[in-house]
Chain A
Amino acid sequence: MSFLSEAQLRDEFGPFIAFQEAFGFIPNLLQAQTLLPRVIEAQAMLETAVRLREGAISRVQKERILLSIAADQRDTYCMALDSRVLSSLGLSDGQIGDLLNGSRHAGLSAADFASLQFCLKLSRHAPSVCRQDIEALRTCGLGDESIFEAVVVTALAMYRCTLSLGLGPEPDFGPPKLPSTRIDQPLGPTPLGSLPDPHEAAHRKGPYVPAPYLSPKTFAPFAAVQRSRGFIPNFFRAQTLRPDLVEAQLEAMGRILLSEDALTRVQKECILLAVSAANLNSYCVAMHCDLLRGLGMPSEDGDQIAVDHHQSNLSQSDAALLDFAVKLGTGDPEFSRADVVKLQTLGFTPEQVLESVVVTAFNNFANTLSMGLGIEPDFAPPPVFAETKVHLSPAAPSPMQQRQEVVHVSDTLQDADADLVALAQRGQLEAFEALVRRHTQLIYRTLTAILGDPIDAQDAMQDTLLSAFKHISGFQGRARFSTWLVSIARNTAFQRLRTRKNVESLDEGEYGEDRDFRPRQVRAWQDNPEQCHSKSEMRQLVERGLLQLPAKYRVVVMLRDIEQLSADDVARQLGLSVPAVKTRLLRGRLMLREWLSPYVTASYKGAAQ
């Protein structure tokens, strides 16, 4: 028996048949998940695509990676299982013993040895993997496809080890026989020295292996992602060398993350965020902060979970859920059945505990894959995360141990306004006035954008400033002061709108209705369109165009193109997901383009002549 109760599934349950055929039996790791058959389906999809399907590296090479990582993680369950599999593929007990010992005497080729070493480094401390590691593999003769598969197999190994740690299945076989002599040259990364220089790494963009363009028109899974999320994350774009693996991951993800019969979407996203943060994975942190914002969580709350969830606004039981997931996800050797029991005494059902284990396992799959492929974040991670969490020494295997002290976002967030804010909070009016003058245009433009009327916006200025002063003592510094000011201006503007008729909503239609917009005007523009009107004429033209836009597009265009904030900052300030901001921005820009077109097309003979 594993840590959780199990259910009896029908013999003809598809994934069981698949495992029966591939391995000759149904592993206890799968039996341990029978409370939620959909998560077994997910694992079967990943294993079939990553482990069993023919690819650039052989089945034996893949199994070697899985066994070496299991041994390195001291996962006795996977060690026993994978030893048996390798034995069935024809490896001798001696060869298997060498792999279990982490020795280089396993008769490996130089390329296989380098590949195993790389996989172990990735599994032990993913943030320390860098482009040079990939270059080293290429020097040993590994091709892009082989490198890519080695990364995905490592990710699968982390998925299985996390599952086995969290579920505690009985081994399917007795422990493998180890040779009596320990061999002295351990396999594994040289600890330091290969740590990437963060500044150098920042210059080199893009994933480590090529990612051929794949069209949503011909690849249905991309079309589905585009529809549901409004964009295709780099996580999937970076894997187009093997579209079948992308498809399998999306299918698995759907089964693990989308269903709400056990944990809620928000709970699962919080797990993904907290564990990714503990694993120092800025790609996934940025992704899940954005998803949580899309699910309605305020930016500051998501940021606080990324930095230290104990200081966030989560309920006590949800905070305990994240403690559980982080302990499991970082492979804490102290993790035990007691952690599972504790979660159940807090009121979580066995199904919910099982799901939190599977979500954590999938998180480690995604964390490992994104670090191993060097995937560029789609969005900026919370500023505070980026500043405090990069590049710890790989000598510290558990990042969690590095942050025993309580961390508040406000302690580390760099904000040029911080000093003045502190004075203003103590009642210093001069400091408050200086802050207001610094941000006058930002406040005014936010008001104009929402109200759609400059005169009305001037009226609303006074209310906004008074409200800001009244509430400034409650400002906790979890976001930048300017972000907070924008939210005050937003609230003031909304209050005024409520007294009007025909209120335009800023929230409706995340991207659905916006997607079908197509530009109509196709006449070419002049080379220097700004020269056919005076500066003040041009400004008037733009202002009139902006006032004609629906408010939800106008706000985004004004903050991005006129206030020159990044799309990530606009999303934070408006409490929207970044994809929603990008969609609205494009729509707004294209509407302005239509509006400006008659005045600047090549055939225009205007005031300048």
Chain B
Amino acid sequence: MITCEEFFVEFADYLENHVSPEVRQELELHLSQCRVCQVLYDSSRKTVKIVSESNSFELPQDVADPIIDRVMAKLRTKGS
């Protein structure tokens, strides 16, 4: 079986679902036997999900509108 270190080399691609069937098989065999990597994988997957669904740093419409209006007003006066 591969070691944790070898698992970690492939980890980024595994998380992105971007590994060949042969590599996946090795990784999943390791996961089934290694509690530490299991936790690492499970929590990393959940991190990505939480971050993706967080809507972080969404500029509220009522903040965005005045900024865009100000810019457009500036451009109109320049243009005319």
Enumerate chain A interface residues (CB-CB to B < 8 A).
206-207, 210-213, 215-217, 226, 231, 234, 237, 427, 429, 432-433, 436-437, 440-441, 444-445, 448, 454, 457-458, 461-462, 465-466, 469, 518-519, 521-525, 529-530, 538-539, 542-543, 546, 557-558, 561-562, 564, 567, 582-583, 585-586, 589-590, 592-593, 596-597, 600
- The listed residue (B20, B39, B46) touching A522 by CB distance below 8 A is B39
Taking a contact as CB atoms closer than 8 A, the residue among B15, B39, B57, B70 that contacts A589 in the complex is B15
Residue from A210, A523, A589 in contact with B22 in the complex, judged by beta carbons closer than 8 Å:
A210
Give B46-74 interface residues, CB cut-off 8 Å to A: 46-59, 63-64, 67-68, 70-72, 74
Shortest Cβ distance from B2 into chain A, in angstroms?
A: 6
B17 to A: closest C-beta gap in Å:
11
- Identify A454's interface contact among B9, B42, B57, B68, CB under 8 A: B57
Binary CB contact string for chain B from 11 to 48 against chain A (1 if under 8 A, 0 otherwise): 11101100011110110000000001001101110111
Which among B12, B47, B67 has the greatest number of chain A C-beta atoms within 10 A?
A: B47
A529-B46 contact in complex given A206-B21, A237-B20, A522-B39, C-beta closer than 8 Å: yes
Residue of B nearest to A211 (CB): B22
B43 touching A525 by the CB < 8 A rule?
A: yes
B6 and A215 within 8 A (CB): yes
Q: B16 to A518, Cβ gap below 8 A? A: no
> A429 and B76 in contact (CB under 8 A), knowing A436-B68, A522-B39, A585-B12?
yes
Nearest Cβ in chain A — how far from B32, in angstroms? 15
Contact among A458, A562, A590 with B59 in the assembled complex (CB-CB below 8 Å): A458
Residues of B within 8 Å of A542, CB to CB, are: 50-51, 54, 56
Contact between chains at A441 and B59 (CB < 8 Å): yes
Chain B positions within 8 Å of A, measured between CB atoms, are 2-3, 5-6, 8-9, 11-13, 15-16, 20-23, 25-26, 36, 39-40, 42-44, 46-59, 63-64, 67-68, 70-72, 74-76, 79
In angstroms, how far is the closest chain A Cβ from the Cβ of B33? 15
Cα(A501)–Cα(B42), bound, Å: 39
Closest 9 CB pairs of A and B: A586-B12, A542-B54, A593-B47, A444-B59, A213-B26, A465-B71, A525-B43, A561-B51, A539-B54
- Between A and B, 29 residue pairs with Cβ closer than 8 Å are A206-B20, A207-B20, A210-B22, A211-B20, A213-B22, A217-B3, A237-B23, A429-B75, A433-B68, A436-B71, A440-B64, A458-B67, A461-B64, A465-B67, A466-B71, A466-B74, A524-B42, A525-B42, A525-B46, A530-B50, A530-B53, A543-B56, A562-B52, A582-B13, A585-B12, A586-B15, A592-B51, A593-B44, A600-B46
Evaluate whether A596 and B50 lie within 8 angstroms (CB atoms) in the complex, with A436-B68, A546-B56 already known.
yes
B55: chain A residues within 8 A (beta carbon): 539, 562
Contacts of A454 in B (CB 8 A): 57
**What CA separation (Å) do A457 and B54 show in the bound complex?**
19
Determine which of B23, B58, B64 lies in contact with A213 in the assembled complex, contact meaning CB atoms within 8 Å: B23
Complex CA–CA separation, A401 to B45 (angstroms): 49
Chain A interface main SS type: helix
Chain B residues whose CB sits within 8 angstroms of the CB of A437 once the complex forms:
68
Please tell me if the beta carbons of B51 and A562 are within 8 angstroms of each other in the complex. Answer: yes
Q: Shortest CB–CB separation between residue A44 and chain B, in angstroms?
A: 31
> Which A residues lie within 8 Å of B15 (CB)?
586, 589
Cα distance A597–B46 when bound, in Å? 10
Central interface residue in B25, B42, B54, B57, by most chain A CB within 10 Å:
B57
C-alpha gap A22/B72 in the complex (Å): 76
Judge whether A518 and B8 touch: CB under 8 Å.
yes
A residues within 8 A CB of B48?
Answer: 561, 589
Q: B42 contacts which chain A residues (CB < 8 A)? A: 524-525
Q: Which residues of B contact A213 (CB under 8 A)?
A: 2, 22-23, 25-26
Neighbouring A residues of B71 by C-beta, 8 Å: 436, 462, 465-466, 469
- Please pick, from A440, A519, A558, the residue contacting B68 in the complex, using a CB distance under 8 A: A440
Measured CB to CB, the closest approach of chain A to B29, in angstroms, equals 10
List the B side residues contacting A427 at CB < 8 Å.
79
With CB as the reference atom, state the residue of chain A lying closest to B11: A586
Q: Which residue of A lies closest to B68 (CB)?
A: A436
B52/A546 in contact, CB under 8 A: no
CB neighbours of B46 from chain A (8 A): 525, 529, 600
